[in-house]
Amino acid sequence: MLKITNLNVYYGGIHALSDVNIEVNEGEIVTLVGANGAGKTSTLRAISGLVSPASGSIEFEGKDLIKTPSHKIPYLGISHVPEGRRIFANMSVAENLQLGAYCRNDKEEIAKDYDAVFTKFPRLKERLRQRAGTLSGGEQQMLAMGRALMSRPKIMLLDEPSMGLAPIIVKEIFSIIQSINQSGTTVLLVEQNANMALSIANRAYVIETGRITLEGRASDLLTDESVKKAYLGG
Amino acid sequence: MTLVEFLQQLINGLSLGSVYALIALGYTMVYGIIGLINFAHCDIYMVGAYIGFFVSTDLHLPFVPTLIVAMLGSAIAGVLVERFAYKPLLRKASSISLLITAMGVSLLLENGFNAVFGGSPRSYPHNILTQKSISLGPVRTDSLHLIILLTSVVLMVLLQIVIYKTKIGKAMRATSADKDAAALMGINVNATISATFAIGSALAGAAGVLVGILYNSIDPYMGIQPGIKAFTAAVFGGIGMIPGAFLGGLILGVIETFVTAWYSPLSGAIGFIVLIVILIIKPSGLLGKKVSEKV
């Protein structure tokens, strides 16, 4: 479904991604784990067209994403929940969700998805008219995910959904990610919290200073000695 | 000052203020979306006044069509400035280079118009709007001030509808909040920035026509004074906040009118005195607020 081949990204003189190869198949949860600054966010930003790669290719259902301007990418069925959530703080929860459906015109189906978001995130319904900036961190993450669902994506890119959240909220968020996947959305999940990410993913990639150093079944990586040492706390 | 005089001055003040507000909206919208103080904005107001002058003089168009043509022409002028002068620098150059570019565009427009059309003032045809004295009970005012006030209010209501009820308005607000996040929603950020310039410039163009008719005199440098006042109004209301520009413009116009009636040598300075006081008491402006965001 999504195929990244030999991707290279530079920020000025810094080689942020070197020859990254990642493949995501339909229906999977694939996770990309690694430390701060390893290139996880850059990978997602390259998929969404927010950074332009120096070389390599990114294909989604056979379409070349590198030649597609960033604002056209949501129309293809790719939805990106960015690092730090990036909700529109000064707008209401309802307006944030409406913006999630910006790339769609089918009013009736949008209304259905709007209700579906509230079944997944009942807490958002209570806060519908509230300014999004006043929500708690966990609620903001839920809003960012709800907003992404409003585009009815084929694949959802999630960037550090656990960042800054209490363990109990992280658990809730991850079980929602699983349920999103079960209802048919492919997931590419970027995480520092390798333990959580590997426990829900089908396959995983480990990225270190811009290179993929390891890949395989998530359950295998969870027991891999080097992964344990580096990312799972022994 | 009697109550009747007070009401008369209030109408004059509101109509002057509504013109400031129309210009201030463009400053504040552009600042909100790309963080630039667009110094050329006051010259778009002048361009609007000239377009209005030519279509009403040469094509003998009546008031409303003149206003519409001038707004469209100013919108195009504003977008051209954005596309050719600012867009190549956006995201690449520092904000100070953008600011200097804006000043350059401003000088280019002023002196370009001076070179092409000459510096001598021109006046709108007398029959475009006839000045009638109108009595509202004991309060006497003239039709021009009322028409200006009414036109400005209609335009500002339209702007509110565009910004809060339409898709392009939502795109504008999202883009001004977070360009990357807006792009992730499928919003074409560049097109949205251009639309913002177009709308702000159209409002300034309308103000140009209204002032051209009211004072019956336009020249290539007519934008400088009201431009500074409108910019003051925008900062006064809280730069980047659309209701702030609206409110700031009206308050500035009213204060200026009353102070002029009381002691005219102060009229030019009073706006800035008020601005300084407000910024000392509330540095983000009347409606400006610090956005608290959780990360």
Span B55-94, pLDDT tens digits? 999 999 999 999 999 999 999 999 999 999 999 998 788 8
Torsion angle, CA of A12/A14/A19/A20, rounded to 10 degrees?
Answer: -100
For residue B288, is it within any domain?
Answer: no
Question: Chain A contact for B170, CB < 8 A?
Answer: yes
B12-30 residue pLDDT tens: 999 999 999 999 999 999 9
Between residues 50 and 89 of chain A, which touch chain B (CB distance below 8 Å)? 50, 69-75, 79-80, 82, 84-89
* pLDDT (0 to 100) of residue B290: 58
Q: How confident is the model at residue B261 (pLDDT cuts 50, 70, 90)?
A: confident
In three-state form (DSSP H/G/I as H, E/B as E, the rest C), the secondary structure along chain B is CCHHHHHHHHHHHHHHHHHHHHHHHHHHHHHHHHCCCCCCHHHHHHHHHHHHHHHHHHCCCCHHHHHHHHHHHHHHHHHHHHHHHHCCCCCCCCHHHHHHHHHHHHHHHHHHHHHHHCCCCECCCCCCCCCCEEEECCEEEEHHHHHHHHHHHHHHHHHHHHHHHCHHHHHHHHHHHCHHHHHHCCCCHHHHHHHHHHHHHHHHHHHHHHHHHHHCCECCCCCHHHHHHHHHHHHHHCCCCHHHHHHHHHHHHHHHHHHHHHCHHHHHHHHHHHHHHHHHHCCCCCCCCCCCCCC
* pLDDT (0 to 100) of residue B92: 84
Helix axes B41-58, B63-81, angle to 10 degrees: 140
* pLDDT (0 to 100) of residue B129: 86
For residue B217, is it within any domain?
Answer: yes
- Between these two residues, B267 and A90, which has the higher pLDDT value? A90
Return d(Cα B206, Cα B228) in angstroms, integer.
Answer: 17
* pLDDT (0 to 100) of residue B293: 41
Can you name the residues that pair with B214 across neighbouring β-strands? none
For residue B295, is it within any domain?
Answer: no
* pLDDT (0 to 100) of residue B117: 95
- Supply the ipTM of this predicted assembly: 0.93
Q: Residue type for A11, please?
A: Y
Q: Sign of the CA dihedral A195, A196, A197, A201?
A: positive
Between residues 248 and 267 of chain B, which touch chain A (CB distance below 8 Å)? none
Q: pLDDT in tens for each of the 234 residues of chain A? A: 999 999 999 998 899 999 999 999 999 999 999 988 899 999 999 999 999 999 999 999 999 999 999 999 999 999 999 999 999 999 999 999 999 999 999 999 999 999 999 999 999 999 999 999 999 999 999 999 999 999 999 999 999 999 999 999 999 999 999 999 999 999 999 999 999 999 999 999 999 999 999 999 999 999 888 888 888 776
Least confident of A81-90, B47-56, B239-248, B265-274: B265-274
Least confident of A37-51, B90-104, B276-290: B276-290
The answer on pLDDT for B289 being more than 80 is: no
Question: Chain A contact for B171, CB < 8 A?
Answer: yes
Return d(Cα B210, Cα B145) in angstroms, integer.
Answer: 9
For residue B80, is it within any domain?
Answer: yes
Question: Chain B contact for A90, CB < 8 A?
Answer: yes
Range ranked top by mean pLDDT from A43-52, B233-242, B282-291: A43-52
* pLDDT (0 to 100) of residue B255: 93
Return d(Cα B98, Cα B104) in angstroms, integer.
Answer: 10
Distance (Å) from the C-alpha of residue B80 to the closest C-alpha of chain A?
Answer: 22
Q: Report chain B residues whose CB lies below 8 A from the CB of A149.
A: none
Q: Report chain A residues whose CB lies below 8 A from the CB of B163.
A: none
Structure-token pair, residue A90: 């000064």
**Is the Cβ–Cβ distance between B277 and B258 less than 8 Å?**
no
Q: How many domains does chain B have?
A: 1
Distance (Å) from the C-alpha of residue A116 to the closest C-alpha of chain B?
Answer: 19
For residue B257, is it within any domain?
Answer: no
The residue of A90, A99, A110, A142 whose CB has the most chain B CBs within 10 angstroms, and thus the best one to mutate to test that interface, is: A99
The answer on pLDDT for B191 being more than 80 is: yes
The answer on pLDDT for B295 being more than 50 is: no
For residue B154, is it within any domain?
Answer: yes
The answer on pLDDT for B292 being more than 70 is: no
User: CB-based contacts of A161: which residues, under 8 Å, 6+ apart?
Assistant: A81, A141, A145, A170, A173, A174, A177, A189, A191
The residue of A95, A96, A102 whose CB has the most chain B CBs within 10 angstroms, and thus the best one to mutate to test that interface, is: A102
* pLDDT (0 to 100) of residue A209: 93
Question: Chain A contact for B184, CB < 8 A?
Answer: yes
**Is the Cβ–Cβ distance between B242 and B29 less than 8 Å?**
yes
Helix axes B267-281, B242-262, angle to 10 degrees: 130
**Is the Cβ–Cβ distance between B260 and B13 less than 8 Å?**
no
Task: Judge: A75–B180 Cβ closer than 8 Å, yes or no.
Answer: no
The residue of B185, B190, B194 whose CB has the most chain A CBs within 10 angstroms, and thus the best one to mutate to test that interface, is: B185
Task: Judge: A82–B189 Cβ closer than 8 Å, yes or no.
Answer: no
Question: Chain B contact for A161, CB < 8 A?
Answer: no
Question: Chain A contact for B183, CB < 8 A?
Answer: yes
B37-65 core/surface letters (b: 16 or more CB in 10 A; e: else):
bbbbbbbbbbbbbbbbbbbbeeeebebee
Q: Residue type for B169, please?
A: G
Question: Chain B contact for A131, CB < 8 A?
Answer: no
* pLDDT (0 to 100) of residue A234: 60
For residue B37, is it within any domain?
Answer: yes
* pLDDT (0 to 100) of residue B134: 84
Nearest to B187 among A71, A86, A164 (CB): A71
* pLDDT (0 to 100) of residue B141: 84
User: CB-based contacts of B264: which residues, under 8 Å, 6+ apart?
Assistant: none
Q: How confident is the model at residue B269 (pLDDT cuts 50, 70, 90)?
A: confident
Return d(Cα B295, Cα A133) in angstroms, integer.
Answer: 10
Residue that the structure tokens 């059309």 belong to: B117
The upper half-sphere exposure of residue B152, i.e. CA atoms within 13 Å in the direction of its Cβ, equals 29
Distance (Å) from the C-alpha of residue A47 to the closest C-alpha of chain B?
Answer: 11
For residue B139, is it within any domain?
Answer: yes
Q: Which alpha helices (H) appear in chain A, and where do they start and end?
A: 40-47, 93-100, 107-120, 122-126, 137-149, 167-182, 194-200, 218-223, 225-231
Return d(Cα B239, Cα B225) in angstroms, integer.
Answer: 19
**Residue A123's Cα: distance from chain center in Å?**
21
For residue B196, the enclosing domain spans 26-233
Strands A29-33 and A186-191: what pairing? Answer: parallel
B197: left (phi over 0), alpha (psi -120 to 50) or beta: alpha
The answer on pLDDT for B294 being more than 50 is: no
* pLDDT (0 to 100) of residue B266: 84
Q: Report chain B residues whose CB lies below 8 A from the CB of A91.
A: 173-174, 177
Return d(Cα B47, Cα B205) in angstroms, integer.
Answer: 7
Q: Give me the percent of chain B exceeding a pLDDT of 70.
A: 98
Nearest to A164 among B177, B187, B295 (CB): B295
The answer on pLDDT for B112 being more than 80 is: yes
Task: Judge: B294–A75 Cβ closer than 8 Å, yes or no.
Answer: no
| Prediction pTM value | 0.91
* pLDDT (0 to 100) of residue B132: 84
Nearest to B292 among A133, A136, A140 (CB): A133
